Copies of this chain bind each other. A is one copy, B any other.
Amino acid sequence: MTIKDTRTPASTQNASVDSSGSTDGNLEENTGGTPQGEKTAASIGWHKAYVEGSRPDLRVPVRQVHLTNGKSVTLYDTSGPYTDPTVRTDVRRGLAALRENWIVARGDTEEYAGRPVRPEDDGLKHTSPRGGLRNLDAVFPGRPRRPRRGAGGTPVTQLAYARRGEITPEMEFVALRENVSPEVVREEIAAGRAVLPANVNHPEIEPMIIGKRFLVKVNANIGNSAVTSSIEEEVEKMTWATRWGADTVMDLSTGRNIHTTREWVLRNSPVPIGTVPLYQALEKVDGRAEELTWEIYKDTVIEQAEQGVDYMTVHAGVRLPYVPLTANRKTGIVSRGGSIMAAWCLAHHKESFLYENFEELCEILAAYDVTYSLGDGLRPGSIADANDEAQFAELRTLGELNTIAKRFHVQTMIEGPGHVPMHKIKENIDLQQEICDEAPFYTLGPLTTDVAPAYDHITSGIGAAMIAWWGTAMLCYVTPKEHLGLPNRDDVKTGVITYKIAAHAADLAKGHPGAQEWDDALSDARFEFRWEDQFNLALDPDTAREFHDETLPAEPAKTAHFCSMCGPKFCSMKISQSITERFGSAAAEGATAEEVAEGMLQKSKEFAEAGNRVYLPIAD
C-alpha cells in the first residue's frame, strides 16, 4: 500500500478555500450569500495523505499523524478535499466528480433531460414572482449537468454488481479505507449485510460502507426548518460535521429552499447524503398530511434522486393497523415521518401509500442506486414505550419490505430506536438482525433515560456505544439540543465527537482489526509525556490542547514530565516509568512473571544502592 502524504499541515488549508464573499447571482436572495464551507482555522494536528489503489484515480484519503518520536499513525478520514491543502475548493463550483468516470465506464446509465425544477420544490407558490420552471443548472450554476439513471430500467446498484461478482472501483475504495480485501466488501454487499450508498448523480463522494463487519459509522443530521437557519449555514454544518468525523449527513430541511439547499449540500459533500423525501412532499401540500398522494411523493423521490441523494428514509412500515397500537403510549408517535403517515392513514382510512406502492418505489431507487433506509416511524419516544407492540409490529413489516427491496437489487438498511433503557437494547439489535436477514441496522442513539434534556448526546451516546458493540452498523448522532432546539455549529461538533467515541468504543469491543492501534498510540504518548502527540492523536486536538493550556499554558509545560493534576513532585507516570525501566527489559526478553519477580529482588537492591530515590523534584 502506497501512502502519498501532502505534508502541508491541514491546519493551514483554509487559505486555499475560496473565500470570496460575493453573492452568487442565481442563489435565492434569502440565503444570505454564498455558502463558504469551513473557514475558521482549527489547528488540527494531522496531515492529509492518500492510499493509492489499483488505478490512478483511486486515491483513498487518510489522516496521517506524525509523532515527535518519528513514528506516524494513519487514521480514517471523512473530511473530504477541504482538508487537503493541495486542492482548491470553491463551494460555488462544488467538489470534483471523483466517481464520474467509474460510473460512465460501466456503460449502464444514460443522461436525460430530467424533471424541471418547480417553484414548489423550494416551498414557493406557483404564483411566486420567482415562479416558473427551471433546470438543475439554474439551481447550481457552478456545475452544469444532466441527471443520469440506469438505462432501460437496469438496476445500477452496488448490490446488483456485487451479486454478479463484480468488484467496482467503489468497492475497492472502501476495501482500502477499511483495510480489508475487496472480496470481503463484495461479499458483504452481495449478502445484503452491508450497503455502499452511492447515487449515480452524486459522483463527488468518497465511497464508504455501512455494515457490521466494518468500522461503525456516524451520521450527522443537518437541515433548516420553518423557524430558522439558511442554506449557507447548512452547507457549513455539513463540512463542519465531516471535518469532525461524520460518515454521512442527512439533510432534514423542512422550510423554504429545500431543493436549493440540498443541491448546494450535495455538490459540496464528500460523504453520502440522506434525506426523508416525505418532509419535502408535505411542504408541497402545505403541511396537510391528508393531501399527500403517491404521485406527489414519487415525484419528490425522483426530484431528489436526480439531485444525487444517496439514501432515503422511507416510512413504509407505518401501516394502518399499527396506528391504534400507539394510542396508549406515553409519547405516542415521535417520528415526524411516522406521524405524517399515521395521520394520512387515519384521514383516508386506507393502507399507507408507501406500503402499497413499495415495489414501484424499488424500481425508481434501483435506477439511481439510492439506498433505502427503512424508517422506524413507530420508534419509542420515551423509556416507557420501548420495545412495545407497535415498535416490533413495524419492525416485522420492515423485514418484509427488506426482502422485496432485495428482489429489486436495492441496497437497504433498517432504522432503529429511539428511547430504550439499557436492559432492553440488545433485544432490538438481535430481533432486527433476525427479522431483516442481517441488513445493516442504523439507530438513533438509543437514549437510555428521558431525564436529561440538554445532555441527550450523552444519554444516547451510552446506548449508541452498546448497540454498536452488539452489531449496529451506523449511529445517527444526537446533539445537546435534542428535544429543545436546532443544533448550532458547536452542537454539531459535540454530537459528532460524542458519536465518534461511541463508534470507536464499539470498534474496540468488536475487536475490529487495527482499531486499538489508535488507543495504543495515544496511551504511549501519554505515558511518555509527549503532550503534542497526545493532542494531535485526540479526536478533538483543539479542545484537548485548550484544556491543558488552561492550567499550564507555558510552552515548556508541553514537554514537561508532569501535568497540573499532581504537580511536579507527585507524578504516578514518572514513578511508573522508573519501574518499567528497571523491570521492563527482563519481561520483554520473555521472562515469566516468576522470573521477573526473581530478577526484581536483585534490581530493587541495585535501585536502593543507586540512591534510594524514585525521582528528583523538579520544583518545590
Binds B, one of A12-20, A153-161, A168-176, A494-502: A494-502
A78: interface (CB < 8 Å): no
A87: interface (CB < 8 Å): no
Name A534's contact: one of B321, B348, B453, B567 (CB within 8 Å): B453
A583: interface (CB < 8 Å): yes
Give, as a whole number of angstroms, the nearest-CB distance from A233 to chain B: 13
Name A575's contact: one of B333, B537, B544, B613 (CB within 8 Å): B333
Question: Is A567 in contact with B452, judged by CB distance below 8 angstroms?
Answer: no
Q: A419's closest neighbor in chain B, by CB?
A: B523
Measured CA separation A559–B405 after assembly (Å) = 43
Question: Is A567 in contact with B613, judged by CB distance below 8 angstroms?
Answer: no
The count of residues in chain A whose C-beta lies closer than 8 Å to any C-beta of chain B is 142
A544 and B327 in contact, given A254-B570, A333-B575, A516-B383 (Cβ under 8 angstroms): no
Measured CA separation A582–B327 after assembly (Å) = 8
Considering the complex, which residues of chain A in the window 421-477 have a beta carbon less than 8 Å from any beta carbon of chain B?
421-423, 448-455, 457-459, 461-462, 465-466, 469
A326: interface (CB < 8 Å): yes
Give, as a whole number of angstroms, the nearest-CB distance from A183 to chain B: 27
Binds B, one of A3-11, A109-117, A195-203, A597-605: A597-605
A506: interface (CB < 8 Å): yes
Question: Is B564 in contact with A485, judged by CB distance below 8 angstroms?
Answer: yes
Measured CA separation A526–B565 after assembly (Å) = 41
Residues of B contacting A382 in the complex (Cβ-Cβ under 8 angstroms): 519-520, 523, 526-527
Question: Is B465 in contact with A422, judged by CB distance below 8 angstroms?
Answer: yes
Would you call the interface of chain A mostly helix, strand, loop, or mixed?
helix
Question: Is B282 in contact with A570, judged by CB distance below 8 angstroms?
Answer: yes
Residues of B contacting A448 in the complex (Cβ-Cβ under 8 angstroms): 465, 501, 505, 508-509
Name A527's contact: one of B332, B342, B383 (CB within 8 Å): B332
A566 and B462 in contact, given A519-B451, A537-B451, A583-B324 (Cβ under 8 angstroms): no
A347: interface (CB < 8 Å): yes
Name A342's contact: one of B457, B465, B547, B579 (CB within 8 Å): B579
Name A323's contact: one of B336, B342, B453, B583 (CB within 8 Å): B583
A30: interface (CB < 8 Å): no
Name A459's contact: one of B287, B505, B520, B544 (CB within 8 Å): B505
A483: interface (CB < 8 Å): yes
Give, as a whole number of angstroms, the nearest-CB distance from A547 to chain B: 4
A86: interface (CB < 8 Å): no
Give, as a whole number of angstroms, the nearest-CB distance from A377 to chain B: 9
A552: interface (CB < 8 Å): yes
Question: Is B483 in contact with A539, judged by CB distance below 8 angstroms?
Answer: no
Measured CA separation A329–B498 after assembly (Å) = 28
Name A522's contact: one of B450, B458, B506 (CB within 8 Å): B450
A608: interface (CB < 8 Å): yes
Contact indicator per residue, chain A 507-539, by CB within 8 Å of chain B (1) or not (0):
011110000101110111011000000110111
Name A462's contact: one of B501, B510, B608 (CB within 8 Å): B501
Question: Is B480 in contact with A523, judged by CB distance below 8 angstroms?
Answer: no
Binds B, one of A52-60, A142-150, A585-593: A585-593
A384 and B501 in contact, given A326-B576, A538-B453 (Cβ under 8 angstroms): no
Question: Is B327 in contact with A566, judged by CB distance below 8 angstroms?
Answer: no
A573 and B501 in contact, given A544-B454, A564-B228, A587-B324 (Cβ under 8 angstroms): no
Question: Is B455 in contact with A227, judged by CB distance below 8 angstroms?
Answer: no
Question: Is B575 in contact with A484, judged by CB distance below 8 angstroms?
Answer: no
Question: Is B289 in contact with A575, judged by CB distance below 8 angstroms?
Answer: yes
Residues of B contacting A582 in the complex (Cβ-Cβ under 8 angstroms): 327, 346
A400: interface (CB < 8 Å): no
Measured CA separation A227–B617 after assembly (Å) = 13
The 5 closest A-B pairs by CB, nearest first: A332-B576, A226-B567, A327-B583, A382-B523, A339-B572
- 8 further A-B contacts with Cβ under 8 Å, apart from A332-B576, A481-B550, are A324-B593, A330-B520, A336-B572, A346-B604, A422-B466, A423-B469, A461-B461, A485-B547
